[in-house]
Structure 1
Amino acid sequence: MNQRVRLRPSAAATAALALAVTSLVPATATATEAESRDHRTPRPCPTLRVSEGWFGDNKARIDALVAKHCHDKGGKPVAVFDWDNTVIKNDVGDATFHWLLRNDRVRPPRDGDWSTTSRHLTPEAATALGAACSTGVRVLPTSTDTRCADELLSVYASGATTAGKTAFAGHDRRRMEPQYAWLAQLLHGWTTRQVESFAAAARAENLAAPQGATQRVGTAQVTGWVRYYPQQRDLIRTLQDAGFDVWIVSASPEPVVDVWAKGVGVAPSHAIGIRNTTERGRLTAHLKGCGTVRDGKDTMITYIDGKRCWINQEIFGVHGPAAERVQPAARRQVFAAGDSDTDVSFLRDATGLRLVLNRNKNELMCRAYENGDGRWIVNPMFIEPKQRKTTPYPCASTGYTAGDGTAQPVRRSDGSVIPDQPDKVF
């Protein structure tokens, strides 16, 4: 029978083992001490570096919000920014559309039927565009054909033909702005990469142009410059450094927003804009849907209540009818920033702070100035701020635009009416 024999280690071996164990103790102790120090002194929270341009205690309140949620162990808090006139001065959709017209990059509809470019285009507008613009060409020569360029610009910019006829109708005013959507729809036939190259060219021109510059499109003089707000670039960087998940949600075409958002450190994966459907790798004149709206239905974009839907769907993973509804606080953004009535819904959803740049927009300013829960902060525009509105905002009468287009009072969540509000931050 085999017997297990226990061997006593030699003295030399015992000493070597003791030395090896002893040599490990300082390293282990050092690691433990380092862990303890890290626990006692967490990374400092960042604060805004740019002070100029912030009104009152707005900077301090934003810094306090950042400190409250800095490196939140419960998950990344979400911050959502509108883009045009919120992060930048002027409009990247406009800048891109002007570039398209100046560089012959708009494709005519097949068979010359302009009604195929938007289900909301009126017969009068379709007829006017058909009469003004060439048929049977691959791209419209809008750099030289001023009649066609003028008609396209009028329909896009003013929602009316050059003869003053209404260009769009039949849409829900809380979910769709056909003029904004039409820019995305006029990109039909191009690839996403091509559209990004158009946007990059327009971006370079508008950033290089002096502040206040104009450019000629057709026979019109239009805005020809754009600037990033240093304050908003600083704010976005601060939020990211503090561990926030920062998103852009815009009513400009998504490939255009993607190009511009990189300039503030927001990746295309975190930029949401109007999305076209695609066919064989090229954009169509139809749009992606959200909530109860199917792809190709073309009745909801990232506009007012549509922004809420897209935020719920793309950021928080809420799909179907629920995406159109206000979510529980844990599934909403902590911080939001906007400048227009188009941003009202997603600003109201923010649970921490709601930054409003004052552009004298009725519903938004009614809600921001009433400030029922103390979470709204108002700031003048950082470049060329608006003058004070001399009459109160008509909150109690016509400040709210309903889905059918009628003007109504602005109401709180409980249905009570917000009284008229004077303009106080300008």
Structure 2
Amino acid sequence: MPSTPVDLEKRRRTLRWVVFLSTAALIFDGYDLVVYGTVVPVLLSDPDQLGALTPGQAGTLGSYALLGVLVGALAAGAVGDRIGRRKVMLVNLAWFSVGMAITATTQSVATFGAFRFLTGVGVGALVATVGALVAEFAPPGQRNRYNAIVYSGIPAGGVLAALTAITLGDSLGWRGLFWIGALPIVVLLPLALRFLPESPKWLVARGRYADAEAAQIRTGIPVPDPEPVVEDKVGFPALASRRFRLPTALLGMMSFAGLLLTYGLNTWLPQIMGDQGYGKNYSLTFLLVLNLAAIGGGLIASFVADRIGAKRVVASTFVLASLALAALPLSMPAAVLFLAVALAGVGTIGTQVLIYGLVSNYYPTSARAAGVAWCAGFGRLGGIVGPIIGGVLVGAGVGGSTAFQLFAGISLLGALVTTMVPRSSHFERPATDLAQDGDRSTVAA
């Protein structure tokens, strides 16, 4: 049945709410990621905060949240394709907020690490669920850009954390910075309860056709035709099927590389630059540039990905990161140095934004949440390794040059793995292909 003007307006309004709530949730994920990097220098220099802390211990402490993210992402993938995207989002908005609030009150390294882990569980579940949710609401031919908009919330949260630390860090202290991360439970959760719908595609995939039709009346989102279930498997078992086994491994390796670079740089860039003679605010400005460039560059790259395909763009941005990171240890004017940091942000954090979009469109609905969860969860192992590598190198006194060169090599490996990912019949075709088939009206919807 053709959509009426009322249905189209409902659909646009629903999409706006889904994108807004998903982006806002990931802004706080990005804030959590970067706020720890902004307080590391304080925790290292002042043992009265949590106790004596070495650089190696700080790197390990930074990985506790990522272990939680791994657990949360895999847990969300295990249940998200069975109980729905909405329930997972609501529960973990509250979980994440409570974790941040309790972390702000801790008094020792052990309790700080424990609640960083528990907070990470909520973060991981959100990251794993958002990609599936947005992919199922976004119009065909525009899914990469909508995923990029939403996942740009992560570097946007990094920008928020850096700006807050620069402007309010001295007055709020590190505990105040963590209290800010608890705001979703009072500003986002009530809105999500009211305006976040369940995915009609998921309802159809679970055989709940009456609920999907009721959702269409409320949201204007048309009820899709059922997709064939992959070998009668749902969630993680589908990823392990013969059809998806190889691409699942390769996509996980891509995310591993992307998140190793993202977390390694966000955790240690201020400290490395400080060791090279830059003042505190100057070092935090590098962090700001890194994440701002990731937002702008990731959005531009997503438009290109919708035209020519995400796989080509991801491989190219990995190579861009390698070149920029290899240049960072070189002596260069400040303007050129900031440009290199910006390009590194596009090629690392921006690349990870594109990877989430690629993965969320790679799998069918019956395995989409599990696919994104696998990518977010396994990738977080790279996020755990990144801060530890930085901590070991800084503690050994070899610092920036070696770390940047190592990260550049990992970027090249990420590009190589990307080129090996096979095409999937469920993978969204580029907009140029759709247009050539005469489907321009769908692309422009």
TM-score computed with the length of structure 1 as normaliser: 0.25
Which structure has the larger Rg?
1
| Structure number having the greater helix percentage | 2
Higher relative contact order (CA 8 A, sep 6+): 2
